[in-house]
Amino acid sequence: MGSGDDVAQFVEQLGAKVEMLDADALAWGDLSRYNTIVLGVRAYERRDDLRANNSRLIEYVQNGGTLIVQYNRAMVRDIHGPYAAQVSDNRVTDENAPVEVLVPNHPVFTTPNKIGDAAWAGWVQERGLNFLGEKDSRYRDLVQLTDSFKNNPGVQRGALVDATFGKGHWVYVGLGLWRELPAGVNGAYSLLANLISLGKTGQ
């Protein structure tokens, strides 16, 4: 769990079996049992044991697991991914900002749901925040956004980022799914289903 998010209950609503990882499970448990592990919002800020045992999660990805990392505030900076990357203050505050999919054949946009323009409709408050900033070239941006506000000019990347490491996937989600899911945004549910399904489908 992170701080102030209920994403676990929405994963359960999609029909997936959810187990919460406490400190002992993270440190000593058999992580290979899981198709996908999701880190809660701002989890790296909240949990010392997560930072201390992050190498086990990277090993989990290397061996074929899928790790979904929800946004962390820029105070964390080093995102503890498989390659060097830093969290930024970048955000897109216009909830209707255009979203361009950069890798349309990626499973995040195809399996089990086809992610089209309708998936980005009806969002509330904002698109997302604390996107990945400086990052190793092995991280791949899956979307880019353009905010309508003049004080936030230019194309924003880092909102949805995938890295292949070993046999698995490490994915950073700066998009505000934790806010859209309680609001009943259909596209957020479709995208969440595809993200957790990466643990089954891979590439």
Indicate the SS3 state at residue 45.
helix
Q: Which residue has the tokens 């255009």?
A: 98
Question: How confident is the model over 9-28, as pLDDT tens digits?
Answer: 999 999 999 999 999 999 99
Distance CA 99, CA 41 (A): 22
Give the tokens for residue 92.
Answer: 């897109």
pTM: 0.95
CATH class of 7-201: alpha beta
Identify whether the C-beta of residue 71 lies closer than 8 Å to the C-beta of residue 173.
Answer: yes
Domain boundaries, the chain: 7-201
Q: Tell me, what's the pLDDT at 3? A: 84
Q: Is the pLDDT of residue 94 over 50?
A: yes
In tens, the pLDDT along 135-167 reads 999 999 999 999 999 888 899 999 999 999 999
